[in-house]
Structure 1
Amino acid sequence: MISEPSPDCAICPRLHAFIAEWRDKEPDWHNAPVPPFLASGGDDSVQLLIVGLAPGLRGANRTGRPFTGDYAGDLLYRTLGDFGFARGKFEARPDDSLELVGAAIVNAVRCVPPENKPTGAEINHCRQFLTPVIRRFPNLRAIVTLGTIAHQSTIRALGKPVSKYPFGHARMGIIDDLRIFSSYHCSRYNTNTGVLTEQMFRDVFRSVRDFLDGKAGTGLDGKA
């Protein structure tokens, strides 16, 4: 199985054409499938995987690092730092001093979609790259899925029916030896409209931290 898409991946014609358009407009941008952001301690150190939706046009598509360059990254990386999953200073560029600690981040769809809306076929195509990312970490214990699409694609990548593991903010499900924690996506739209507050987001990662540290309970709604 191919583990990573090529820089000129053309499996999804619409996304390939959209990136080609932006390569002409902004030749200095990344404008390619965005690779996972991996822990500084290597694959064996990863206990937490965070799965997002897709690169933002002026975020990860520009910078080449997940959640880097737009508002969602500000909230995500601040939260990760507060709970010990990141260190260094996040400055919204891939050459800053930020490092992940025991965690990795990947998007369910690697290429930027128009209007941030991938099609069902594009999500399905890109799962061939999500599945091996999940499998590459031998000590993985928890996954946080950000939003419905990321959640459903992760459940399918794990070979399970989404009907048995429905998405819901602050839900927690168990698949084999993995705990699946779900959260609303940390997008500016969700925070501006009050769908997601910073405290709601922090509560999810507090529960993840407690689980990984062996503290009793999850603090979430229970098994999905």
Structure 2
Amino acid sequence: MDPSAPPQSLAELDEQVTHCRACPRLVAWREEAARVKRRAYQDWDYWARPIPGFGPPDAALVLVGLAPAAHGGNRTGRIFTGDSSGDLLYATLHRLGLASRAESVRAGDGLELSGVRITDPVRCAPPDNRPNPDERDTCRPWLAREFEFLRPTVRSVVALGGFAWQALLPVLTAAGYAVPRPRPAFGHAAHIVLAHTDGGPPLHLFGCYHVSPRNTFTGRLTTEMLTDLLRSAAETAGLTLSG
């Protein structure tokens, strides 16, 4: 993030994210994946840039993942789009009445989220889906600033996986939420309430197994488990559901 030109809105922040080249390994990998395409996507012009968050600037519920997939978001330009993880996530949000359609194909396909924003702690596709700690920490200011803009409306956050949970805790501390010591452990359906140090509304933090094929194909995370978790988080955030 360029400190000489701080963003004045979430939309401005999202635009700035897409120009980041701070992590050489991630820049090289995202661009290499765009050159050496999967056979099924030979006719695609890959995005091959950092992925901003997706969803309205006044979201009450925020979902936090890990990083874009090399041939998913890195191809489509939208987080959790174009891979099986996104297929499950957006279908579940649609079932709950929080997404306008059940699938996400590419940025600009008409999909809209209602009261929900989705973001990642690391904005570029990493090799083997594994960003290293330095890359996570280098990317942290983007997530921290995102939460500054969302703070007036956000009431619930879902960490999709242990990586997201660990990446979130220092961000939430910096945002003024009282994260207990020792830090709470991640687990599916973990739920803690974080008071704000200035007396503002508290934040509900939920843990959820990541929607990765590794978890869904093995049954560690089922559609019913994800639906129940997202329903609880959405209801806690005050959102109206239809499913």
Q: TM-score range by the shorter chain?
A: 0.7 to 0.9
- Count of residues paired in the alignment: 211
Amino acid at match of 1:35: P
1:149 lines up with 2:163 in the alignment? yes
Tell me the secondary structure at the aligned position of residue 140 of structure 2.
helix
Letter of the 1:194 counterpart? G
CA deviations on 1:146-190 (whole Å, 9 max, x unpaired) are: 001111111111124684221110011112211001100001111
Alpha-carbon displacement from aligned partner over 1:87-122 (angstroms, at most 9, x marks no partner): 135242223231100111111100000000000111
Q: CA–CA distance in 2 between the matches of 1:109 and 1:211?
A: 26
Contact 2:154/2:203 (<8 A) preserved:
yes
Match of 1:166 in 2: 185
CA drift at 1:11: 1.6
**Corresponding residue of 1:133:** 146
Q: Which moved more, 1:155-164 or 1:116-125?
A: 155-164
Secondary structure of the equivalent of 1:87?
coil
* C-alpha contact 2:34 2:75 (8 A) present in aligned 1: no
The answer as to 2:142 corresponding to 1:123 is: no
CA gap 1:23/1:74 in 2 versus in 1, 3 angstroms: closer
User: How far did 1:9 drift?
Assistant: 2.4
TM-score by length of 1: 0.86
Q: CA RMSD in A?
A: 2.1
Structure 2: gaps of 5 or more residues: 7-12, 38-43, 174-178, 196-201
Question: How many angstroms apart in 1 are the aligned matches of 2:234 and 2:116?
Answer: 11
**2:138 aligned with 1:113, yes or no?**
no
- Contact conserved, 1:89 with 1:97, CA < 8 A, in 2? no
Matching residue of 1:32: 49
Residue aligned with 1:182, SS:
strand
Tell me how far apart the structure 1 counterparts of residues 18 and 93 of structure 2 sit (CA, whole Å): 28
Structure 1 unaligned residues grouped into runs of 5+: 216-224
SS of equivalent to 2:207: strand
* Conserved? CA contact 2:95–2:102, under 8 Å: no
Q: Percent identity, aligned pairs only? A: 39
2:95 matched residue in structure 1: 82
Candidates 58, 61, 64, aligned match of 1:51: 64
Post-superposition offset of 1:16 = 1.5
- Answer whether contact 2:33 2:71 (CA < 8 A) is retained: no
For 2:180 and 2:128, locate their aligned partners in 1 and report how far apart those are by CA, in whole Å: 28
State the alpha-carbon separation in 2 of the partners of residues 89 and 185 from structure 1: 19
Q: Which moved more, 1:159-168 or 1:195-204?
A: 159-168
Superposition deviation, residue 197 in structure 1: 1.1
Q: Which residue of 2 aligns with 1:16?
A: 27
SS at match of 1:209: helix
